[in-house]
């Protein structure tokens, strides 16, 4: 009986040995190098899980040799590889995770032809320089990542940004984004963080710059620390945007940044919504959202290796042999295995359940290709979590497929606007913004302190967008001018660049230089430069203004010539025998000849000639006619000249302005002209290529005293006080406002240029489209016209000069009595003098009559007056003198 038991026991032992031999697993040794950190445990757990699945599904017994090394353990890593290769041989090497140790391990794997799976970033240029054939890198290359970042930067329209990097490898990941820059783009700033852990000094330097878009490249463990310190120095405000280049940024705990208003985006290669990742998280007993990229890549590398090893064994069982480190031995399986992994059979099925990082393909250099990155950003809704916004594929590197449509984005922005209170900066200046005067001792607060076009404009916009706003004044009161010496802006633009406000609303002109610094909405008001000038003062015309066409000297010379020529004609007529005539034509032999050219007749002839009326007495002698003809020619020229000059003089007296356009200003030197110092008008004349306007700028710049003013108000005051010796160049909208309230001012000429007022905003303002749509809607509804009419012609004394304008237009070509009153004076004076002479002659005649008739003077006067006032009497008897009566 004991013998039977012994035999039975031997049979069972023999059967066990046969079964064990039949099921003996093939041993595969692999080396895995991990970096010593808090994530090494999770990676080791993932490796252990993968090997358990491999053991359950295959006949292979994979023996893992896991080593956690520091980056300084370069010699130790080489010794480990040499020992493993010499003992049992190595089927593959995985890792290391840090580039510092990789150089030694990669060199040994290349020498022995052992497949080497890497899980860290390496540029394709480095791969090509090493001439590597056995390395298979599952991590996207730096060149490929840089292409993805370049496309993301381009789609976000980042023209200027700051690169914050921890080491030089970060610059490699940005190579393509730098290549995409154009010469006209602003410069990119680079800031190295340093060794840490305190990065505040560098972050404060970045805060003082004008950039608000940042690309942050650093290690995963440092991301939150850097952002915490950025929040302390006010670099995580509403207008800041970040792109994180680390593929593990999504795995961090972002709960403490739930209230941060900055826009934070990043990229990842693993899909958190995939079933493979969720199942892996359950098996590894970790949150799938916290799985690191290198852990997933290490898992995928093992899956890739064992699947390739299985496919190779289906053709020819590979033999893994020990190698001598001192010799030049190479593996028998290495070249075949890496070849089949790079080009796997069609419809091959992986041993482990899928790849966590997506499909895996390699190029000839062993670099991963044709993979997909997910673009994720931190959502605005609470609680703030990362959400998928787009995908980028290395096969089409210039395109990002966005998950959110433009309509969905617009809806989100509209919801955000409704919760926003925009900080609006402005400056005082009628009618755009004015301080309200207190009534009954009431103190105004907030927006109630102000009134004006700008306030109403924002009110109308926010009524459309359903938002709110708060107005504040810029400290220096300037619009915004760039100082090329100090390399900085002032005024409203400076306020926006410092992120002290979201919007700038006033009469701020959109210029090319300002557009480089900030963004603008579409113009809410179009305008142009024009000339502000004072109206001509209408002085009362002089009584003898008709004499102004000729100077006093000419009048005196004419009077003297009149008397001299009259005397000459008298003398010539007495010398000339032809002017002595027979007083009795019927008597052919007269005893006496008579000369009619006495002084009185000569003066009458010359007077009638110069008055263009002629005379019934004409000279007969040649010499007298020559003298008379010379006087007639003189009279013709002087009369015609007076008439022509009189017309021109009256025309000039009706022309109120001495200039009609800016070109007229450039062509004279009597009237000085200037503009607002440092404003858009000043920039226009300074930078223009038009010769006339450049000439005007030269004259303005060289004028002494200066013709530039610090404000439009001062320019208006100077125009009024200069007595038409100064003109001010400013926007026609401001001229219209001033001329509506001060009737002494007028706009001269049309617009020199064409530009517009727009709402300035921080560069990259995400609500710009909504504001543009609101302004366009207001324009179509006539709201902008209504606002302008309200503040230009209705409020604060507007429209008071309309009646005067229409009156001046109707009477511009008329001459009043004041202009020709002197002519009436001359007429009445001449008639009065003639009446006086007539009375004198009448009295002299009456006296002679009284003496001749021997009657009293009074009776003779009565008789003559009775006859004079008897208007029906047409004949008068001749009264002969006594001497003549005796002779007869």
Question: What pairs with residue 532 in β-bridges?
Answer: 728, 747
pLDDT in tens, 421-467: 999 999 998 899 999 877 666 778 889 999 999 999 999 999 999 99
499 is in an annotated binding site: no
The answer to whether the beta carbons of residues 691 and 702 sit under 8 Å apart is: no
pLDDT score at 95: 85
* Topology classification of domain 142-268+371-404: Rossmann fold (3.40.50)
Does 141 have pLDDT greater than 90?
Answer: no
Distance of alpha carbon 90 from alpha carbon 309, whole angstroms: 13
Distance of alpha carbon 690 from alpha carbon 669, whole angstroms: 19
Among 333, 342, 366, 308, smallest CA distance to 89 is for 333
Range scoring the smallest mean pLDDT among 4-8, 112-116, 208-212, 591-595:
4-8
The answer to whether the beta carbons of residues 218 and 170 sit under 8 Å apart is: yes
The answer to whether the beta carbons of residues 597 and 573 sit under 8 Å apart is: yes
591 is in an annotated binding site: no
- Where in the chain are all domains bearing CATH 3.40.50.2300? 24-137+294-367, 142-268+371-404
| H helix or E strand, kind and range, residue 631 | helix 622-654
509 is in an annotated binding site: yes
Give all strands of the β-sheet with 529-534 in edge-to-edge order.
Answer: 672-675, 726-731, 529-534, 745-748
Distance of alpha carbon 701 from alpha carbon 803, whole angstroms: 39
Give, in order, the Cα–Cα distances in Å from 656 to each of 84, 566, 663.
106, 43, 18
pTM for this prediction: 0.69
Distance of alpha carbon 510 from alpha carbon 519, whole angstroms: 9
Helix (H), strand (E), coil (C) string for 729-796: EEEHHHHHHHHHHCCCEEEECCCCCCEEECCEECCCCCCHHHHHHHHHHHHHHCHHHHHHHHHHHHCC
Give, in order, the Cα–Cα distances in Å from 695 to each of 7, 102, 217, 661, 663.
125, 70, 53, 15, 10
pLDDT score at 386: 86
Burial pattern 299-325, b for ≥16 Cβ within 10 A else e, equals bbbbbbbbbbbbbbbeeeebebeebee
Residue 398: Cβ-neighbour burial (10 angstroms; 0-12, 13-18, 19+): exposed
CATH number belonging to domain 24-137+294-367: 3.40.50.2300
Q: Characterize the bridge pairing of strands 135-137 and 92-94.
A: unpaired
> How much helix, strand and coil, in percent to the nearest 5, is found in the chain?
50, 15, 35
Q: Assign 812 a pLDDT band (cuts: 50, 70, 90).
A: very low
For the CA atoms of the chain, what is the radius of gyration? 54
Which CATH superfamily groups domain 659-753? Periplasmic binding protein-like II (3.40.190.10)
731 is in an annotated binding site: yes
Q: Assign 854 a pLDDT band (cuts: 50, 70, 90).
A: confident
Q: What's the mean per-residue pLDDT of the chain?
A: 83
Q: Assign 172 a pLDDT band (cuts: 50, 70, 90).
A: low
pLDDT in tens, 143-168: 888 889 889 988 888 878 899 998 87
Q: Assign 871 a pLDDT band (cuts: 50, 70, 90).
A: low
- Where in the chain are all domains bearing CATH 3.40.190.10? 411-528, 659-753
The answer to whether the beta carbons of residues 254 and 378 sit under 8 Å apart is: yes
Among 375, 307, 295, 368, smallest CA distance to 337 is for 307
What average pLDDT does range 781-800 have in this prediction?
Answer: 88
Question: What pairs with residue 268 in β-bridges?
Answer: 374
435 is in an annotated binding site: no
**Positive or negative CA dihedral for 519, 522, 525, 528?**
positive
DSSP string, 395-459: TSTT-EEESS-HHHHHHHHHHHHHT-EEEEEE--BTTTBEEPPPSTTPPP-GGGGEESHHHHHHH
Count of residues making up the chain: 888
CB atoms within 10 A of CB 284: 19
For residue 358, give every residue at least 6 positions away whose Cβ sits within 8 Å of its Cβ, in sequence order, or none: 269, 270, 271, 371, 372
CATH number belonging to domain 411-528: 3.40.190.10
Distance of alpha carbon 785 from alpha carbon 741, whole angstroms: 19
What average pLDDT does range 570-587 have in this prediction?
Answer: 76
Does 562 have pLDDT greater than 80?
Answer: yes
Among 202, 252, 194, smallest CA distance to 232 is for 202
What average pLDDT does range 598-615 have in this prediction?
Answer: 83
Does 87 have pLDDT greater than 50?
Answer: yes
Distance of alpha carbon 662 from alpha carbon 727, whole angstroms: 10
Burial pattern 89-107, b for ≥16 Cβ within 10 A else e, equals bbbbbbbbbbeebbebbbe
């Amino acid at each position: 009986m004991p013998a039977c038991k012994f035999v039975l026991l031997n049979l069972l032992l023999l059967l066990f040995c046969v079964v064990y031999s039949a099921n003996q697993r093939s041993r595969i040794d692999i080396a895995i190098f991990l970096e010593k950190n808090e994530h090494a445990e999770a990676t080791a757990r993932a490796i252990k899980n993968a090997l358990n699945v491999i053991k359950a599904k295959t006949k292979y017994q994979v023996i893992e040799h896991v080593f956690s090394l520091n980056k300084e353990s370069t010699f130790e890593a080489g010794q480990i590889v040499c020992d493993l290769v010499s003992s049992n041989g190595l089927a593959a090497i995985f890792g290391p995770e840090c580039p510092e140790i990789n150089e030694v391990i990669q060199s040994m794997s290349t020498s022995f032809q052992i497949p080497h799976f890497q899980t860290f970033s390496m540029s394709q240029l480095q791969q090509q320089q090493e001439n590597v054939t056995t390395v298979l890198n599952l991590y996207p290359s730096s060149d490929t990542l840089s292409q993805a970042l370049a496309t993301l930067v381009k789609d976000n329209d980042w023209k200027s940004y700051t690169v914050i990097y921890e080491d030089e490898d970060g610059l490699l990941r940005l190579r393509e984004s730098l290549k995409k820059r154009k010469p006209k783009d602003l410069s990119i700033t680079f800031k190295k963080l340093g060794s840490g852990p305190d990065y505040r000094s560098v972050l404060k330097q970045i805060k003082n710059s004008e950039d608000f878009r940042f690309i942050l490249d650093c290690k995963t463990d440092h991301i939150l620390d850097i952002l915490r310190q950025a929040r302390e120095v006010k670099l995580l405000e509403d207008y800041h945007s970040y792109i994180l280049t680390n593929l593990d940024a999504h795995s961090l705990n972002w709960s403490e940044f739930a209230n941060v208003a900055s826009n934070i985006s990043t990229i990842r290669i693993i899909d958190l919504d995939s079933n493979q990742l969720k199942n892996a998280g359950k098996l590894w007993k970790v949150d799938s959202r916290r799985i690191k990229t290198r852990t997933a890549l290490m898992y995928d590398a093992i899956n890739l290796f064992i699947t390739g090893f299985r496919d190779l064994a289906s053709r020819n069982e590979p033999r893994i042999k020990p190698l001598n480190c001192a010799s030049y031995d190479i593996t028998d399986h290495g070249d075949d295995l890496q070849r089949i992994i790079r080009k796997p059979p069609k419809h091959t099925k992986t041993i482990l359940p899928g790849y966590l990082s997506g499909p895996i393909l390699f190029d000839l250099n062993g670099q991963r290709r044709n993979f997909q990155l997910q673009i994720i950003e931190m959502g605005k809704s609470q609680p703030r979590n990362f959400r998928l916004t787009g995908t980028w594929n290395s096969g089409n590197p210039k395109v990002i497929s966005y998950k959110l449509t433009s309509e969905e984005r617009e809806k989100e922005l509209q919801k955000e606007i409704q919760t926003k209170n925009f900080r609006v900066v402005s400056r005082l200046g009628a009618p755009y913004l004015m301080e309200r005067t207190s009534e009954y001792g009431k103190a105004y607060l907030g927006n109630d302190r102000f009134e004006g076009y700008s306030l109403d404009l924002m009110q109308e916009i926010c009524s459309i967008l359903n938002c709110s706003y708060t107005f504040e004044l810029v400290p220096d009161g300037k619009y915004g001018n760039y100082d090329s010496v100090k390399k900085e802006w002032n005024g409203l633009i400076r306020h926006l660049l410092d992120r002290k406000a979201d919007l700038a609303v006033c009469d701020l002109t959109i210029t090319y230089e300002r557009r480089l610094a900030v963004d603008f909405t579409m113009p809410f008001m179009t305008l142009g430069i024009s000339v502000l000038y004072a109206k001509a003062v209408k002085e009362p015309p002089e009584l003898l203004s008709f004499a102004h066409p000729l100077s006093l000297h000419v009048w005196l010379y004419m009077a003297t010539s009149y008397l001299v020529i009259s005397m000459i004609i008298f003398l010539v007529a007495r010398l000339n025998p032809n002017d002595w005539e027979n007083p009795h034509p019927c008597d052919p032999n007269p005893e006496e000849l008579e000369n009619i050219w006495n002084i009185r007749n000569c003066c009458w002839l010359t007077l009638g000639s110069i008055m263009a009326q002629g005379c019934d007495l004409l000279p007969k002698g040649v010499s007298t006619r020559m003298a008379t003809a010379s006087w007639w020619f003189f009279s013709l020229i002087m009369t015609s000249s007076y008439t022509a000059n009189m017309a021109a003089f009256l025309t000039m007296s009706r022309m109120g302005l001495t200039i009609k356009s800016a070109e007229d200003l450039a062509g004279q030197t009597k009237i000085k002209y200037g503009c607002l110092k440092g404003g858009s008008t000043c920039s226009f004349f300074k930078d223009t290529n038009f010769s006339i306007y450049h000439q005007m700028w030269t004259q303005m710049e060289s004028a002494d005293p200066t013709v530039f003013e610090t404000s439009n108000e001062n320019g208006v005051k100077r125009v009024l006080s200069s007595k038409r010796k100064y003109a001010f160049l400013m926007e026609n909208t401001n001229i219209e406002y001033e001329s509506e309230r001060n009737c002494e001012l007028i706009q001269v000429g049309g617009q020199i240029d064409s530009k517009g007022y727009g709402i300035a905003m921080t560069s990259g303002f995400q609500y710009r489209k909504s504001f543009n749509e609101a302004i366009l809607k207001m324009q179509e509804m006539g709201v902008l016209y209504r606002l302008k009419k309200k503040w230009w012609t209705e409020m604060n004394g507007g429209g008071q000069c309309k009646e005067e304008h229409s009156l001046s237009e109707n009477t511009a070509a008329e001459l009043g009595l004041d202009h020709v009153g002197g002519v009436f004076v001359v007429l009445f004076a001449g008639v009065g003098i003639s009446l006086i002479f007539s009375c004198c002659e009448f009295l002299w005649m009456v006296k002679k009559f009284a003496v001749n008739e021997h009657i009293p003077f009074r009776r003779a006067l009565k008789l003559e007056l009775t006859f004079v006032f008897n208007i029906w009497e047409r004949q008068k008897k001749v009264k002969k003198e006594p001497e003549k009566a005796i002779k007869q």
